[in-house]
Amino acid sequence: MIAVGIWLLSVALADLVGGLSGEPKDGARTIGAIVTGVVAPAILCVIAAADVGTLVLLTLLTGATTAAWIVIRRDAPRMSAVRALVALLFLLSTFAIVSAIGSELVSTFAAGSLLERAIGRSPFSLIASSSPEQVLFLLGVLAMLFATSNAIVRLVLTAMGTRFSNAEQRLRGGRVIGPLERVLIFGLGLAGEATAAALVIGAKGLLRYPELNGLRGESGAAGPSARTIDVVTEYLLIGSLTSWLLALFPLVLVPA
């Protein structure tokens, strides 16, 4: 699982360099994201005391994944539903491949690595008692809950045919609220506080209700904006359910 953690963390960091919104920015940000996808796994492999073969394999695999992932998602406003679905399947299949070969690669990480020593010296007992596999996986998941998860939510909305551009203009705070919400739900789930996580999910619905209700009073040239209400409601439902799934699903994958 060390290989999986390195891959997750590297791709997530690359996406953060590309932009928190999940939409790759043209120019230096895109180049920086691709470079991060190559440099990050190499550095993490060195810290985790990987042998040369593992370092090269993970670096090439993660770099190729990052580059393809960013290229497929470019020009998001004009992305077709088919391309969005291809991007989602690409990321999922790559994760499955890394997970499958990760159990073999884990034996090529030496004991007593810099990462292991740093974990053992941590002043926090929860971290000090964790294994490198757990630490890297959790760091990778936490990083993924930001820009990468924003990108996945956007792709799901596009693949489902939901026109979210107008809704997103109204709800720009979701780019920050979504990641914070996912981190909170994941953290509560990790701590075994399922009831508290459910309360967070319920609270979001209550907080969004006045905003949706306010749209009923708006009117355009053709009368009440029922179409806008439908779009925003669909946007919130699909986006929220996808976001919650991204926060909860990693809980079943955390290394023992």
> Model confidence over 3-30: pLDDT tens digits?
999 999 999 999 999 988 888 877 888 9
- Whether pLDDT at 144 is above 90: yes
Mean pLDDT of the chain: 84
User: Residue 132 in 3-state DSSP?
Assistant: helix
Can you give the pLDDT at residue 36? 96
- Whether pLDDT at 174 is above 70: no
Residue type, 124: F
Can you give the pLDDT at residue 110? 85
Q: Provide the percentage of residues in the chain whose pLDDT is more than 70.
A: 82
The pLDDT-based confidence of 237 (bands split at 50, 70, 90) is confident
DSSP code at position 79: -
To which residue do tokens 């030496």 refer? 110
- Whether pLDDT at 173 is above 60: no
Can you give the pLDDT at residue 219? 44
What residue spans define the domains of the chain? 1-161, 164-256
Q: What is the DSSP string of 180-196?
A: HHHHHHHHHHHTT-HHH
Full-model pTM: 0.87
Query: In this predicted model, what pLDDT tens digit does every residue of 23-69 receive, in sequence order?
Result: 887 788 899 999 999 999 999 999 999 999 899 999 999 999 999 99
Question: Span 90-106, mean pLDDT?
Answer: 85
Range with the lowest mean pLDDT among 58-62, 72-76, 79-83, 161-165?
A: 161-165
Between CA 205 and CA 189 the distance in angstroms is 19
**10 Å Cβ neighbour count for 200?**
15
Between CA 20 and CA 18 the distance in angstroms is 7
CB 67 within 8 A of CB 91: no
Residue type, 182: R
Between CA 190 and CA 247 the distance in angstroms is 10
